[in-house]
A and B are shown apart, each in its own frame.
Chain A
Amino acid sequence: MSGTSPVAAAADGYAQREKRLLDAIELGEPDRLPTILFSHFWVAHYAGMTCRQAMYDYEGLAAAVRKAVSDLEPDGFQPVHSMIAFGPTMDILEYKQLEWPGHNGLSENAPFQYLDRQYMTVEEYEAYLLDPTGFVLHQYLPRVAGAFEPLAQLPMYPTSLHTRILLSVEAYARPEVRAGLLKLIQAGEEMQKMRATMSRLHAELQGMGFPCVTHGTSHAPFDVVSDYLRGSKGAMLDLFRHKERVLAVMDRLVALLPQTAIAAARAAGGRGVFIPLHWGLDGFMSPKQFTTFYWPQLQKVMLALIDAGLIPYVLWEGDCTSRLDIIKDVPKAKCVYSFERTDMFKAKEALRDQVCIRGNVPASLLISGTPDQVREHCKKLFDVAGDGGGFILDASVGIPDEGKPENVLAMFECAKQCIY
């Protein structure tokens, strides 16, 4: 292919990288060890931006991602904007579920943090079960963002039909609803700006030969109950006090969650769906609780995505070594499991013929180690987890925000030396 144009070379690079990742996902040996760049704020720090700047400056963040991708040359990347560039939209919405840099006293260089609270009371399980959309519109959204508060006044649509549609439309003209709707339009315009920047960036990176690997997000139904509805404490207590309600809400979520992810992936024209897991780890639930409240519902969500031709990229936070024999029950070579602290030797043993594994250079090594130590660790991972293919090199929960650039560069460079 010598003498080809830069455009043709980039197209070759794109095809080569995509194939490298697909070979690993299909449990084969690629030409060399593939990598994915997954970062929250590291790309911003690497380009000299603060966390706050990264959340507010779409173009600045795009330049930061471009620089990181150009320097590291990963085989794929996960979108950064759709994970962090929410600052202006949150301001307009008066969003309450996150604390973010420069807001409410949090340092400009601290990452945003989710506030683990009860956002749905125990009594509201029934309201959710009766009409999830109505509950979210009238109760949940007004609770989590100021701009949504007037939406509590909107009609109850399941029963506001025929002439009631006409009569109830009056609600939209009320001054407070009108003001809320105007804020939502403003927030929507802001989000369109962010998305336009992200789309341009991804098209540009594709032109440079770098595939975006995830195009939507989904969740384990229990994580939705715990993180977004009941709060971790409420959800844990509900396992004893309201088992049936938890299971019933999760049944609804099993049916609803894949629809959102499939629509997002189709709109973006991609196949990867990112599923970060929060409460699946060893030590949180008992094996029995895990096989009752966590895995069966998550498995159903994954199967629905796989049936739709998508690839779930599941991030198993924490140490999930004791779960390996359970979580291997998925269609062969159809998804990717990232591990944070899980023993990669055991993961390889358990999943070798079933699931491509990804990870897990420790955050501590990337932050406090040396490039030599990083290279040594990556080579060890290649020997163990990469044996026979089916392995993608990554940090443990993405590149830690404080990772030393020379260590991160060493990790990506090392993968290029790991030839099959």
Chain B
Amino acid sequence: MEDKSKQLVQLIADMQEEEAVKLSREMLDSGYDPIKLLGHCREAMEVVGKRYEAGEYFLPELMLAGEMLTAIGDMAKPLIKQDLSKATDGKKVIIGTVHGDLHDIGKNIVTFMLEINGFQVVDLGIDVPADTFVESIKTHKPKVVGLSGFLTLAFDSMKTTIESIKAAGLRDNLKIMIGGGQVDDAVKTYTGADAFGLNAMEAVSLCKKWMPA
């Protein structure tokens, strides 16, 4: 089985979708521990993340890795009895596309990369009003909030959202990162965010810096 587990990690990391899903099915059918199997998926995702960081993989590979993870997860999770939800407690990120903006590709990629790096992400979706961010921060008490936006209209929405968070007394001890579209250092200053990122890896690096293991 050890050979098979290594093979599975390699198949996922090398984007061999059909073979990876087939092998996972075989392993589960022969009684392989589903929790261990998901562990191999995580290991493979670390390789994918590293290859993405190294400029060897790009968005299509992240998308396919996400598909493989979902397909294998859907097979393994019904076989698991214990509650896995506590695994990433304490490393919470709230993310959403700000009010008026309906774009979600960038946000989804960041969410995916954060999750495979062990962060628990609360995704508020698109066109999220400032008040929804405030309420969600009160409920989930995250250490980091990520504001996404593709349109230039998002600059003002990000600014308003951060002002609302401040007005609700929630800005201290909270890090806010922004990203998407034409966001740059000037937009970071304009909105009052703590940092901006040009891609999903930068979001992961910021979260690792702000929430060290």
Contacts and interface: CB of A to CB of B under 8 A. Distances in A.
A110 interface: yes
B174 interface: no
B190 A368 contact: yes
Contact of A362 (B60, B61, B184): B184
Contacts, number: 89
Interface stretch (A9-17, A122-130, A229-237): A229-237
B101 interface: yes
B168 interface: no
A340 B152 CA distance: 13
A396 B102 CA distance: 21
Contacts of B184: 362, 364
Interface in A259-283: 283
Nearest to B15: A240
A110 B151 CA distance: 9
Chain A, interface SS category = loop
B156 A402 contact: yes
B187 A115 contact: no
Given A402-B152, A402-B155, A402-B156, A364 B58 contact: no
B59 A364 contact: no
Contact of A364 (B61, B101, B155): B155
Nearest to A234: B63
B182 A364 contact: yes
A286 B100 contact: no
Contacts of B57: 286
B103 interface: yes
B139 to A, nearest CB: 24
Contacts of B80: none
Contacts of B185: 364
A369 B59 contact: no
A369 B104 CA distance: 27
10 contacts: A113-B102, A113-B103, A240-B60, A283-B59, A289-B58, A364-B182, A364-B187, A368-B186, A401-B151, A401-B152
Interface of B: 15, 17, 56-61, 63-64, 67, 100-105, 127, 151-153, 155-156, 182-187, 189-190, 198-199
